[in-house]
DNA sequence: GATTGACATGTCAGCTCTTACATGTCACCT
DNA sequence: AGGTGACATGTAAGAGCTGACATGTCAATC
């Protein structure tokens, strides 16, 4: 039961937004889950086929242009619930930003400052995107959601906080490097 | 030039700590880089072989028990520097914790609280580990490092801040769920 | 009537990564 | 002399993922 996060993400989206096609789900990945997990259609289509074979989803209907509408089965719901409740969050730590941070002292301070400057710009842009998403969500009048919390908001909040933290770190690291130079 | 982070990490370690064997580098991964990037020996040995073929590292000497001592070449140094200075930090976003956060509203509040409680415990433990590392580094009298900043400290600082942020988020999310229940 | 572009689904080569298997050396303890 | 455990290097199957290739439908514009 390793690395089945793509499966879980798909089951989650099918639960939250109701039935959808592979195409729809690909769009959801681009738009709503992108800050949390990424997957392209070339990964999603085969996975849906496997999940159908495993009985976690079914093809509810076939629409125009070969469109296949998937929906989650009780087995799928059980699988999702079991993962959410039982999954140990020991995900492999792999962050390119952190790796860059780790290796930064190998550069001389001037170059390191440049790298941090670029990182800062990237993070600021990301922050703006996330905050725009936040604003958009809070403007609309409760669209979808299972409990009182709007779907995806907790994750969005986490993302915004983490971006802010990275930004603060970059600023402090720059100040530290400037003191040395 | 995609996903060459393992290469970069190895080049970085060879620069920072001088020449080392595959075994040594595996240990460094377990101990010093683990919070930033992960790799086992079965990934490291073949990669070192490829890097040798590409002229980025050389086998400096062969010691006892078949031990091979690698060191970085000028080409390797150039490659590392180019990556650090020129790399765009657009790493694929893939966080199991964030995915769990995203899907959390699919559970009822009681179960969601349990999940957050477990996450909090995990993060607290991680935080303790990182802070112990920090304390250990600040106790010893400047061991290795290229500039004035001790090697790996910037990354450690980032890790500690991010863990703290996740912890704060978990607490606030729990408070929010409790208000609903 | 033709082109454009969004819709829609798939496959495949090749890389990364994980897990497990496999082999052998050397120092130390009993 | 035998056993344990750290040292040390490798291979291989299979999953995960990326990027490119491939195919076709439908609606709207020119």
Domain termination site, one of A56, A86, A116: A86
* For A167, nearest residue in chain B (alpha carbons): B158
Phi and psi, residue A111, nearest 5°? -65, -40
A51, part of any domain: yes
Q: Does residue A91 or residue B21 have the better pLDDT?
A: B21
Query: What pLDDT is attached to residue B177?
Result: 93
B100 and B171 in a single domain? The answer is yes
Q: Does residue B21 or residue B149 have the better pLDDT?
A: B21
Residue pLDDT, tens place only, A58-79: 999 998 889 999 999 999 999 9
B144: pLDDT strictly greater than 60: no
CA–CA distance, B35 with B84 (Å, rounded to integer): 19
Query: What pLDDT is attached to residue B142?
Result: 55
- Mean pLDDT across A17-22: 95
CA–CA distance, A152 with A111 (Å, rounded to integer): 38
A16, part of any domain: yes
- Mean pLDDT across B121-145: 82
Give residue B28's domain range: 5-86
CATH of residue B18's domain is 1.10.10.10
Point out which residues pair with B68 in neighbouring strands.
B62
- Mean pLDDT across A40-65: 96
A70 and A108 in a single domain? The answer is no
- Mean pLDDT across A1-24: 94
Average pLDDT of chain B is 91
Point out which residues pair with A58 in neighbouring strands.
A71
B85 and A33 within 8 Å at the Cβ level: the answer is no
* For B77, nearest residue in chain A (alpha carbons): A106
B106 and A149 within 8 Å at the Cβ level: the answer is no
Which chain A residues contact residue B98 at CB under 8 A?
A: 35-37, 155, 158-159
Q: B141 falls in which pLDDT band (50, 70, 90)? A: low
B79 and B141 in a single domain? The answer is no
Q: CA B167, B170, B174 angle in degrees (round to 5)?
A: 145
B101 and A33 within 8 Å at the Cβ level: the answer is no
Query: What pLDDT is attached to residue B181?
Result: 72
> Of all residues in chain B, what percent carry a pLDDT higher than 70?
94
B91, part of any domain: no
B76 and B115 in a single domain? The answer is no
Query: What pLDDT is attached to residue A70?
Result: 98
CA–CA distance, B167 with B126 (Å, rounded to integer): 10
Give, in order, the Cα–Cα distances in Å from A162 to each of A35, A36, A117, A165, B68.
Answer: 11, 12, 18, 5, 41
A50: pLDDT strictly greater than 50: yes
B10 and B56 in a single domain? The answer is yes
B70 and B118 in a single domain? The answer is no
B63 and B101 in a single domain? The answer is no
Point out which residues pair with A68 in neighbouring strands.
A62
Q: Report B:71-90 residues touching A (Cβ under 8 A).
A: 80-81, 84-85, 87-90
Tell me the three state secondary structure of residue B68: strand
A91, part of any domain: no
Q: A150 falls in which pLDDT band (50, 70, 90)? A: confident
A75 and A103 in a single domain? The answer is no
CA–CA distance, A83 with A58 (Å, rounded to integer): 20
> Which positions in strand D are less than 7 Å from the protein's CB atoms?
7-12, 15-21, 24-26
Could you tell me where the DSSP H helices lie in A3-152? Answer: 5-17, 22-31, 41-53, 74-86, 96-103, 109-139
Q: Greatest CA span in chain B, whole angstroms?
A: 66
> Given A8, A106, A161, which is nearest B99 (Cβ)?
A8
- Rounded to the nearest angstrom, the minimum Cα separation between A116 and chain B is 10
Q: Is the CB of A40 under 7 A from strand D?
A: yes
A5 and B105 within 8 Å at the Cβ level: the answer is no
Number of domains in chain A: 2
Whether B13 and B20 have beta carbons less than 8 Å apart is answered as: yes
Query: What pLDDT is attached to residue A149?
Result: 59
B118 and B172 in a single domain? The answer is yes
CA–CA distance, A70 with B76 (Å, rounded to integer): 49
A133 and A108 in a single domain? The answer is yes
Q: Strand B57-62 and strand B68-72: pairing?
A: antiparallel
B127 and B64 in a single domain? The answer is no
- Mean pLDDT across B76-96: 90
A4, A100, A144: best mutation site toward chain B, by most B Cβ within 10 Å?
Answer: A100
A108, part of any domain: yes
Which chain B residues contact residue A122 at CB under 8 A?
A: 88-90
A68 and A110 in a single domain? The answer is no
Give, in order, the Cα–Cα distances in Å from B95 to each of A29, A34, A92, A114, B58.
Answer: 14, 11, 9, 27, 36
Domain termination site, one of A68, A86, A104: A86
Q: Residue B118's Cα: distance from chain center in Å? A: 23
Nearest to B35 by CA among B121, B99, B123: B123
- Mean pLDDT across A116-142: 89
A173: pLDDT strictly greater than 90: yes
Q: Residue B78's Cα: distance from chain center in Å? A: 22
Q: Does residue B99 or residue B147 have the better pLDDT?
A: B99
* For A113, nearest residue in chain B (alpha carbons): B85
Average pLDDT of chain A is 91
Helix axes B74-86, B5-17, angle to 10 degrees: 120
Domain termination site, one of A35, A68, A86: A86
B1: pLDDT strictly greater than 90: no
Nearest to B111 by CA among A84, A75, A8: A84
C19 C1' to B3 CA distance, Å? 22
Give yes or no for A29 touching B (CB within 8 A).
no
Query: What pLDDT is attached to residue A146?
Result: 45
B43, part of any domain: yes
A109 and B152 within 8 Å at the Cβ level: the answer is no
- Mean pLDDT across A36-58: 97
Give yes or no for A22 touching B (CB within 8 A).
no
Q: A90 falls in which pLDDT band (50, 70, 90)? A: confident
Whether B128 and B164 have beta carbons less than 8 Å apart is answered as: no
């Amino acid at each position: 039961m390793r690395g089945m996060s793509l499966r879980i993400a798909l089951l989650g989206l099918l639960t939250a937004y109701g039935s959808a096609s592979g195409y729809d789900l690909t769009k959801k990945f681009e738009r709503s889950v992108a800050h949390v997990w990424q997957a392209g259609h070339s990964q999603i289509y085969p996975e849906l086929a496997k999940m159908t074979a495993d009985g976690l989803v079914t093809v509810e209907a076939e629409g125009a242009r070969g469109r296949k509408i998937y929906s989650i089965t009780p087995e799928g719901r059980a699988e999702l619930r079991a993962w959410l409740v039982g999954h140990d969050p020991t995900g492999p730590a792999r962050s390119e930003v952190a790796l860059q941070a780790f290796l930064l002292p190998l550069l001389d301070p001037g170059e390191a400052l440049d790298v941090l400057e670029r990182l800062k710009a990237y993070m600021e842009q990301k922050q703006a995107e996330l905050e725009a998403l936040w604003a958009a969500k809070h403007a609309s009048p409760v669209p979808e959601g299972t409990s009182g919390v709007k779907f995806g908001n907790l994750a969005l909040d986490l993302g915004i906080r983490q971006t802010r933290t990275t930004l603060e770190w970059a600023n402090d690291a720059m100040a530290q490097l400037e003191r040395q130079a």
